[in-house]
């Protein structure tokens, strides 16, 4: 369990870094180039690591359903949506919303038993946990002095506030 938790923390670190990297690449090179770069490098790294750790057995796909490889196309949607969300909301808010959304859809997929998952009805604990996380995002983003305010600055959401330095410059 400790190794699993450490790997989950490492994944969070890497996803956070990748979101920032993808946003910067998108600004410099555009969305199509960013998607191609991210997925192309990911495919190359996966291929090389697969060969290193499994050898030729990585090409044994007998147990796959015909549609399993098609889900790889979802990666294109993931990269586009994440990059655009980070660009519009900033990394903290975007990743927070993505996390709640992932958990919510995981509960839904479990409840429906889709994609070969064992059907597992949602519990009140799961619903309460999702609501607490969503509420935590609001608590995290609301400034005690300003609350949620509207912003006239492009690229900033209503709950994003000026930094202390920006407030000093305005004063």
Give the alpha-carbon dihedral of 125, 91, 4, 70, to 10 degrees: 90
How many C-beta atoms lie closer than 10 Å to residue 23's C-beta?
21
pLDDT value for 152: 47
H or E, element range at 92: helix 91-112
Segment 19-59, tens digit of pLDDT = 888 888 888 899 889 889 988 998 999 999 999 999 878 88
Question: How far is the C-alpha of 70 from the C-alpha of 64, rounded, in Å?
Answer: 11
pLDDT value for 166: 60
Domain ranges for the chain, please list them. 1-54+72-89
DSSP string, 27-61: HHH-HHHHHHHHHHHHHHHHHHHHHHHHGGGGG--
Q: In which region does residue 136 sit, left (phi positive, over 0), alpha (psi from -120 to 50) or beta (all else)?
A: alpha
Question: Tell me, what DSSP letter sits at residue 148?
Answer: S
Give me 161's structure tokens: 């506030």
Segment 136-147, tens digit of pLDDT = 888 877 756 555
| Residue labelled with tokens 């997929």 | 109
User: Is 151 in a helix, a strand, or coil?
Assistant: coil
Q: List CB contacts of 129: < 8 A, sequence separation 6 or more.
A: 103
Least confident residue range of 40-49, 58-67, 124-133? 58-67
């Amino acid at each position: 369990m400790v190794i699993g938790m450490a790997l989950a923390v490492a994944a969070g670190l890497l996803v956070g870094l990748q979101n920032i990297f993808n946003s910067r690449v998108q600004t410099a090179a555009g969305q199509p180039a960013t998607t191609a770069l991210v997925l192309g490098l990911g495919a190359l790294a996966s291929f090389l690591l697969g060969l290193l750790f499994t050898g030729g057995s990585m090409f044994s796909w007998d147990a796959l359903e015909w549609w399993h490889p098609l889900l790889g196309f979802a990666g294109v949607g993931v990269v586009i949506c994440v990059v655009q969300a980070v660009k519009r909301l900033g990394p903290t808010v975007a990743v927070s919303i993505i996390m709640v959304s992932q958990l919510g859809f995981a509960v839904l997929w479990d409840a429906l038993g889709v994609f070969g998952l064992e059907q597992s009805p949602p519990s009140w604990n799961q619903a309460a946990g999702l609501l607490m996380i969503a509420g935590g995002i609001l608590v995290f983003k609301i400034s005690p002095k300003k609350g949620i305010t509207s912003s006239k600055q492009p690229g900033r959401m209503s709950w994003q506030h000026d930094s202390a330095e920006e407030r000093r410059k305005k004063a």
